[in-house]
A and B are shown apart, each in its own frame.
Chain A
Amino acid sequence: MFHRSSTITALAFSAAMLAPVSASELRVGFTLDAMTLDPANHRKRETETIIRNIYDGLLTRDAKMKVVPELAESWTQVDPQTYDFKVRQGVTFHDGTPMTADDIVFTFERLTKDDAMGGQTSPRKDLVGPIKEIKKIDDRTVRFSLSEPWPILPAMLPVQEVVSKAFTEKVGSQGLATQTNGTGPFKLVEWRKGDSIILQRYDAYYGGATEIPPVGKACVDRVIFRVIPENASRVAALLAGEVDIINELPPYDMKKVETNSNTKVMKVNGTRTFFVALNNTKKPFDDPRVRQAANMAINKALIIDKVLLGTAVPLNGVMSPDAFGYNPDLPAYPFDADKAKKLLAEAGYPNGVDATIDTEGAFKEITEAVASMLTKAGIRTKVNVGEGSTLRAKWAPKSDKSGDMYFTSWGNGSLDPADIFVPTLRTGDRGNSAYYSNKEVDVLLDAANVEVDQAKRADLYKRAQAIVNKDAPWIFLWLPQDLYGVSKRVSGWEPSADSRINLHDACVK
């Protein structure tokens, strides 16, 4: 027995000898490995998070989710369908070659042209929008021409990264999956697949977005993304000091991380809006009073507190508070079961109504909470658990519109209403599961779509949000927050709504 334990101690000792010698190594305990390191050949946020530390984009976002220039120096919208980007000078790829306008044109042609990646079409194609042509005007200017107005182009560009034309042509699309040559703050040292991605500071880095200080080289020498898919193990690695930042901290482990003297919890609003779509074309929810009653029946604060353990913010409309054009003045429907019953009676349902709410298995419990609250307020609700694709088909805009209620959500990675408000609430649009139709809202949304003046565009969306709030096509629910566990030795890093972990400015003590 003595012998065995001394072996373990010896092993642990020699393992400790290898543990961080240099102080500036930052380790991230991360849920998923990168699928690929090719910036154009995936559709996964986790993969993007890793790639974004190696590759920079034309534009990026600051911690407040404002879109700012990165590899571009600035941009101008010439008309609703034309954007000019001024190319930053003096940027080099990790192999030392300068980045030029040709690299930018090449990158976006690879993203948007069919079969442009060794016979494959980029899965990120539609994230670049309805591109007609990308042209180099001169060495300092690249022009994006669109086939139709798409006001979220700048909001979507931070999710694309610029690759080197020469390097990509040399290694091919297959080669780009595992080899990198970016312009970002870190260069790849080694990718131990399924285990870790080891990055090292790129010393000739141009400094990053000028609007996000500090500008300059990265703070830490090395960054390591360690793949730890299991929640309990990821938390254990943070508590044991093996990693400095973990993503997807489970809410029930928040206390553990808070009580540990070396770690803390950091929260940030996500980008996914949860709501219950009400069938606006069918009794009883064709009557706005019934829809308002449904909104008053829900004690959102209680659900957020008890079921979501405080990790969500309540919404009174479609948009995240961090989104462009968010209207902060929308009135909340107060939780009031009696008033809800009164509204039901006014609408001609003094004895209440029977209804069914559709939901996916993953949200069964929370939907049951919603259903029991509705039932108490007179909308006797039965929960029907279905499979995702089946439910989406049932609630598609061109379906037979037979459902009553649908507990669902819509992601808004661009944090722009054009990517959530328009598809979910414009008459007949692809995600309009409530079959909501209001001419006034449609007019405002269409006007915003072609409005070049950003202040005016925001104002149009704000007005539309006020109308939707009153019409209550949905039961407005909440926006879940993302949780991170962070070691107290990390400074200069904040979680961001787009779930990226940009480590350019992060330092370790």
Chain B
Amino acid sequence: MKPLALISRITQLVPVLLGVSVIVFVMMALTPGDPVEIMLADQQATPEQVQAMRHDMGLDRPALERFGIFLSNALTGDFGLSFFHRRPVFDVIAERLPATIELTLAALLLALAISIPLGVVAAVKKNGVVDRLAAIGSLFGTSLPGFWFGIILIILFAVQFKLLPVSGRLDFGCEVPPVTHLMTVDSLLRGRPSCFADALSHLILPALTLSLPMAAVLTRVQRSAMLEVLRSDYIVFAEAKGISRRRILWRHALKNALVPTVTVAAIETGSLLGGNMVVETVFGWPGLGRLVVESIFVRNYPLVQAAVLLYAVTYVLLNFFADVLYTTLNPRVRL
């Protein structure tokens, strides 16, 4: 890839982020409800208290001024104080981000591990049993709502069979000093296999729930890409040369058939961030998605703004990453 392409990609981020900031700010401003009123809702507050809170949060200034302050502070990496935590937004997000990253990565790996072999087999044995089952499975995977599927998994594996925990991230008996803040990785790095097993047992159900819709889509993509590749001339030629079926499939065909899967996977990873909000709530997973949902409910403007910006950056970077992967998988593609 040329360095120029990289620079142009990075400069593309600027208008995107600015646009996202404006949209989020306007949406939050237009959403009915007032953070101060929500915060003081438990016990009716006096007008003086409301005024003091409004001042502390900077809500006594005009909206345009607030936006200006937000933008100029954000440029220096200062996203202000979370209204409800009363601590820097940056800290609050940083505490919750690793859990989301761990869950997203696990779901991504799981989705790829399910969809690529399944898609290939479905394509090779077109209209066979596996293909049909995969088609039905994909239909379910895309249409089942995550929260429902998650609760069913909980009822089955946690309440009925008592095999896996209902929620949370790590047992309280496990105190693993953080390295990467990813519990599964840290417990291995610290040489605590029992904690690793515990972290993994907490991770399975949410990761499965989160990965299902993605696996469904990727299976379909993988299957159709594979079918297309298998029909191309170079495969016919390879077969004519007498190369073994297995070698053709996994060495020659799959590499090309992976290109669309990778693109879709990268884009879908972005949407995993959205799915996280539901799954993290159902499984009590202490990640960013749940924090953002809670923050939207209570109109915690600074936190929502910062988190959405983070989502936007992630999304753009993921797409960029997909493009880079493209070029390695298929050198004919140039950025």
The answer to whether A and B assemble together is yes
Give A residues with C-beta under 8 Å from B: 8-12, 14-15, 17-19, 21, 25, 32-33, 35-36, 38, 41-45, 114, 120-121, 123, 125-127, 174, 177-178, 190, 192-196, 198, 222, 224, 226-230, 232-233, 236-237, 239-240, 242, 387-390, 410-411, 413, 419, 423, 430-431
When C-beta atoms are compared, the residue in chain B nearest to A413 turns out to be: B43
Q: Are B290 and A194 in contact (CB under 8 A)?
A: yes
Nearest B residue (CB) for A226: B168
Minimal Cβ-Cβ distance residue in B for A119:
B56
Pick the contact of B284 from A43, A44, A230 — CB < 8 Å? A230
Taking a contact as CB atoms under 8 Å apart, the answer to whether B290 and A229 are in contact is yes
Tell me if A15 and B201 are in contact (CB < 8 A). yes
The answer, yes or no, to whether B233 is at the interface (CB within 8 Å) is: no
Instruction: Give 13 A-B pairs besides A8-B163, A11-B204, A388-B33 with Cβ atoms closer than 8 angstroms.
Output: A14-B193, A15-B202, A43-B43, A190-B175, A193-B95, A195-B170, A228-B168, A229-B284, A236-B158, A240-B162, A240-B166, A388-B37, A389-B33
B312 to chain A, nearest CB (A): 22
Chain B residue numbers with a CB within 8 Å of A242 are 158, 165-167
Contact with B164, one of A15, A224, A388 (Cβ below 8 angstroms): A15
**Shortest Cβ distance from residue B93 to the other chain A in the assembled complex, whole angstroms:** 11
Contacts of A196 on B, CB cut-off 8 Å? Answer: 168, 172
Q: Are B33 and A194 in contact (CB under 8 A)?
A: no
Q: A11-B200, A195-B168, A236-B158 are in contact. Are A43 and B95 (CB under 8 A)?
A: no
With A45-B42, A195-B286, A233-B284 known as contacts, the answer to whether A120 contacts B86 (CB < 8 A) is yes
Please list 12 pairs of residues, one from A and one from B, whose beta carbons are closer than 8 Å in the complex, sorted by A's number: A17-B194, A18-B194, A36-B87, A44-B42, A194-B290, A195-B286, A226-B167, A233-B167, A237-B158, A237-B167, A387-B33, A430-B47
- Beta-carbon contact of B168 and A121 below 8 Å: no
**Least Cβ distance of B169 to chain A in Å?**
5
CB contacts (< 8 Å) of B193 on chain A: these are: 14
User: How far is A194 from B86 in the complex, measured between Cα atoms in Å?
Assistant: 15
Q: Contact check, B46 vs A233: say whether CB atoms are below 8 A apart.
A: no
Check A237/B166 contact, CB under 8 A, given A18-B173, A120-B86, A230-B281.
yes
- Chain B interface, number of residues (Cβ within 8 angstroms): 64
Q: Is the CB of B284 within 8 A of A195?
A: yes
Given the known interface contacts A8-B163, A389-B32, the answer about A240 and B158 at a Cβ–Cβ threshold of 8 Å is: yes
The chain B residue with its CB closest to the CB of A126 is B49
Pair B283/A233 contact, Cβ less than 8 Å: yes
Given the known A-B contacts A125-B49, A240-B158, are A411 and B99 also in contact in the complex, defined by CB atoms under 8 Å?
A: no
Of the listed residues B48, B56, B281, the one surrounded by the most CB atoms of chain A closer than 10 A to its CB is: B56
Q: Which of A36, A114, A192 contacts B52 (CB 8 A)?
A: A114
Q: Which residues of B contact A174 (CB under 8 A)?
A: 87
Q: Which of B39, B47, B86, B171 gathers the greatest number of chain A CB atoms within 10 Å?
A: B86
Q: Mark B88-114, 1 if CB is under 8 A from A, else 0.
A: 000010011001000000000000000
Query: What residues on B are CB-neighbors of A224 within 8 Å?
Result: 172
* B167 and A42 within 8 A (CB): no
Residue of B nearest to A499 (CB): B42
Is B174 an interface position by the 8 A CB rule? Answer: yes
Distance between B34 CB and nearest chain A CB, rounded to angstroms: 6
Report the separation of the CA atoms of residues A232 and B158 in the bound assembly, to the nearest whole angstrom.
12
Q: Closest Cβ of chain A: how far from B175's Cβ, in Å?
A: 7
Given A36-B85, A177-B87, CB of A18 within 8 Å of CB of B198: yes
Q: Closest A-chain residue to B158, C-beta based? A: A240
